Structure 1
């Protein structure tokens, strides 16, 4: 039987295996907290990898120049970030523009919250904090009690209390002012609750990512029929928010804070609070935190929804491209590589050269499928039927009249209209016969002029085009002149 002391000790051991407490327990914990809190902020939750390495390297140089050489770790910023990522404090991800970036893990966010609370104003046992606790317990009791009559009695008491307060306000016309000290306590209680939000949102997002990894791993190892795999994992991908305890809790909270009108009301209420004179007793950072409560909620919601979209996309893609045989071959290959590295590393010396793979191994194929080929040469395609434009019927001529430009006829018309000097395109079009003055022929004439080399006149030209059915259309365009022969002909 485990004693009370042994149980407490085992629980403490499990707690200190958490990356959050491990971060705070390290020798360089103050440095890690300082660097992470300065690089990652509420306005900048993700930082490109190259920028993070540069900023952390600059911060280390500044600290060394200030005389803190003894308390700093040895090594470049890139190695430090890699160590922090291996320890579970940083998470690498690829952004939408294919840029690799760092973001704080939920454990790192929790560690920064603990460090911030320890270094700031301590939590006080205030009226506001106790009232929050009592209201939470009262709400829990109401939700847990199925007795209808008890619920009715509570609601009647609340209605009578509110009615009495309404009558007092109508009778006196005054609102009882709350002491500034009590308002300050309530504001500090709100700030205490706000500090918990980033860590809560980060834990929800990471629980979704952990569920995504579990699903993909199980899918790669699954040997059940493909139909069962598709049915189960596609359903989990579509309902990823309900697949984890944190996700279900977040979905319940979202019904309260996801309403845009509620967030707008929250912004209005915070603006009213910040205009009160008691806020002068708050520090600038506390006033900033109060002002940005709504934005922090929106950032947290976006973080969770982004993780949900990525998880759904990864799971769906994995299911669609799932090939158990290929995945098993890849796993076996990676396992062989890891086994080879483990055998080679103990015997390898520092700086020892590695013999590269000069050529790929030849596959050992025991038997190939063979089939007799057809020795007869392929049959040529049937010859095309002869086509003579002179044999067109009346309907065919009418269809062609509505077709594209007559380039050859237009080119000949240009040469005939002005054989020895530049020609005005508008004048040439107006002088053309009716079959060459269709709207589409105007475009063809301008195209030919562009190929021969045209010059703008700076004036506006007008032409009348005639459709095959006799209707007319007037067009305006910038006047141009062109040669009648290209340079090769000249």
Structure 2
């Protein structure tokens, strides 16, 4: 064994164990972390509110400690409260803290999803070398060879062979042949193979979303440090924002997969196929957890596609917003200010003592300015405004036009309503729209309609289910149409009924 080969392999293993996924599984408290994360995050619950996560984690710690775990050395539990543990898991890269719908939530990172899958496979049923797994491998190799072989004649020969096989099978069934049944053991192996393949999808989707977010951070960081012309930066970064799915290997792989699973018809077909499988009797041999996991395959695919598309839209929005608001000079000034603040902290902290009172800054410092400009570009001194003209009390002021454009004429409107209600047909109430339409043009202004509604409200009115439309006449003879909910006013000429008397009382 060559020493160089051993050293290289050992360095590769060291780099591998620096991965957050293997780091999680290598920790002392890995069983507790895996248990809590698996119970907290499910296919139906991809994100958990921060407050809920802290409460559930604290409850899990209390239950395990009450059951006696954590006392012995071989069953340790982490120290600290739930908030501190979640903060540590975020720093370790197992959880991601973000804001969704104005609420802070936790979600599993790609490393956390991968760690849960590894733990689930090791702790669950062991994968076996079965006919289904070998068939999947052979079909994948066959499809790879077909896609890589550009020979037209070979492709035609393979298609003709497949057509002949399908035709012979169809002819056999048409002659009354029976469908070959598959043993329940083989179906169970095939179902386990499907679950094994489906368990890889959540981590793949999470890696795609995180790669898009990492690219977003890189683009924004490059943009803040950019000193090129704004137009050039705008064209380049907007183009990268539009093509963000083509800029990363994970994004390109997901775009290819999206062409297969992004069609709603394919998802519907997948739902139907899964329901068909779950109706078969061999599923009774599967544990309840596996049956539930099999039924949730389509939902997990939909959720994974949704998470990636949301990350893509957010990245495009952030990059576009940053480009529009990009100001290199301001960003450099902010960076210089932050560096000055950090330098001041580095100089102050070693000389300070713990618990030392820091005097607050009561007011901001004032710049020492010697002389400010007191005049603008106009050299003339300021002049007061032109005085108002003196009012001549003997001057005649025409009041006709002023009154015509004034407020409602309540007295005339009330008199008109009482006269209109004098008709015996209006004994039970007056239609306000009809009364307004029958009024003279002097009191049919738009403002008079409001006045008439006020009077109707004072005498008592009830709403109707109809919509009334009336035509008002302004003082300049222009006409306006108004629509409002129909109302009937009580007859103002009818005697007022006592408050304690009910309709229909004869005494």
TM-score grouping bracket, smaller chain normalisation? 0.7 to 0.9
**SS state at 2:460 partner:** strand
Q: Secondary structure at the match of 2:222?
A: helix
Distance 1:10 1:88 in 2: 22
Aligned to 2:489: 479
The residue that corresponds to 1:448 in the other structure is: 454
Q: Match of 2:360, SS? A: coil
1:243 aligns with 2:264: no
Structure 1 residues 132 and 357, CA, compared in 2 at 3 Å: closer, same or farther?
A: farther
How far 1:278 moved relative to its partner? 0.6
Q: In 2, Cα distance between the equivalents of 1:139 and 1:152?
A: 14
Give, in angstroms, the shift of residue 411 of structure 1: 3.6
Q: Indicate how the Cα distance of structure 1 residues 376 and 36 shifts in structure 2: closer, same or farther if over 3 A, else same.
A: same
**Alpha-carbon displacement from aligned partner over 1:450-472 (angstroms, at most 9, x marks no partner):** 67x342379999999777699x9
Distance across 1 between alignment mates of 2:56 and 2:179: 52
Q: Tell me which moved more, 309-318 or 161-170.
A: 161-170
Give the RMSD, CA atoms, in angstroms: 3.9
Task: Please give the alpha-carbon distance, in whole angstroms, between the structure 2 residues aligned to 1:463 and 1:255.
Answer: 56
Point out the more displaced range, 148-157 or 357-366: 357-366
Is 1:257 the equivalent of 2:261? yes
1:67 equivalenced with 2:86 (yes/no): no
Q: Once the 2 structures are TM-superposed, how far is the Cα of residue 441 of structure 1 from its aligned partner?
A: 6.9
TM-score (norm 1): 0.84
> Cα gap change, 1:332/1:473 in structure 2, threshold over 3 Å: closer, same or farther?
closer
How many angstroms does 1:437 deviate by? 6.8
In structure 2, what is the equivalent of residue 435 of structure 1? 441
Aligned mates of 1:443, 1:147 — CA distance in 2: 86
Deviations 1:76-98 (A, max 9, x none): 111111111111111111112x1
Q: Hey, what's the Cα distance between the residues in 1 that align with 2:487 and 2:233?
A: 65
Structure 1: distance between partners of 2:369 and 2:139: 74
TM-score by length of structure 2 reads 0.81
Counterpart Cα distance in 2 of 1:270 and 1:264: 10
Picking from 313, 332, 340, the partner of 1:336 is 340
- Name the CA shift for 1:390/1:63 in 2 (closer, same or farther; >3 Å): same
Match of 1:319 in 2: 323
C-alpha separation in 2, matches of 1:417 and 1:136: 89
Q: How does 1:250-289 map to 2 (within 5 A)?
A: 250-289=254-293
Matches within 5 A, 1:31-46: 31-46=32-47
8 Å contact 2:407–2:448 — kept in the other structure?
no
Distance in 2 (CA, whole Å) between partners of 1:133 and 1:69 is 44
In 1, Cα distance between equivalents of 2:470 and 2:348: 84
Which aligned pairs between 1:155-166 and structure 2 lie closer than 5 A? 155-166=159-170
Deviation, 1:150, is: 2.1
3-state SS in 1 of match to 2:490: strand
CA distance in 2 between counterparts of 1:158 and 1:464 reads: 75
CA deviations over 1:336-384 (Å, ceiling 9, x no partner)? 3333444445555444444433433445789988974423447969999
State the partner residue of 2:223: 219
Q: Cα distance, 1:273 vs. partner?
A: 0.6
* Count of matched residue pairs: 467
- 2:57–2:82 contact (8 Å) kept in structure 1: yes
Helix, strand or coil at the partner of 1:93: strand
- CA distance in structure 2 between the partners assigned to 1:219 and 1:418 by the alignment: 76
| Aligned partner (choices 83, 89, 92) of residue 84 of structure 1 | 89
Deviation at 1:331, TM superposition (A): 1.6
Give unmatched runs, 5+ long, in structure 1. Answer: 393-399, 484-490
2:49/2:103 contact within 8 Å kept: yes
Q: 1:207 to 1:464 in 2, by over 3 A?
A: closer
Whole-Å separation in 1 of the counterparts to 2:383 and 2:156: 90
Matched-pair contact (CA < 8 Å) for 1:23–1:111:
yes
Aligned-partner SS, 2:175: helix
The match for 1:56 is 57
In the alignment, which residue of structure 1 is the partner of 2:171? Answer: 167
Distance 1:478 1:75 in 2: 71
Q: Does 1:152 align with 2:131?
A: no
Distance across 1 between alignment mates of 2:92 and 2:370: 48
1:300/1:378 Cα in 2 relative to 1: closer, same or farther (>3 Å)?
farther
Offset of residue 390 of structure 1: 6.6
Deviation at 1:73, TM superposition (A): 1.8
Q: Secondary structure at the match of 1:102?
A: strand
Secondary structure in 2 matching 1:3? helix
> For 2:7 and 2:328, how far apart are their aligned partners in 1?
46
Aligned to 2:99: 94
Tell me how far apart the structure 2 counterparts of residues 353 and 210 of structure 1 sit (CA, whole Å).
41
- 1:389-416 residue CA offsets vs partner (Å, 9 max, x unmatched): 8799xxxxxxx9xxx9x84435434258
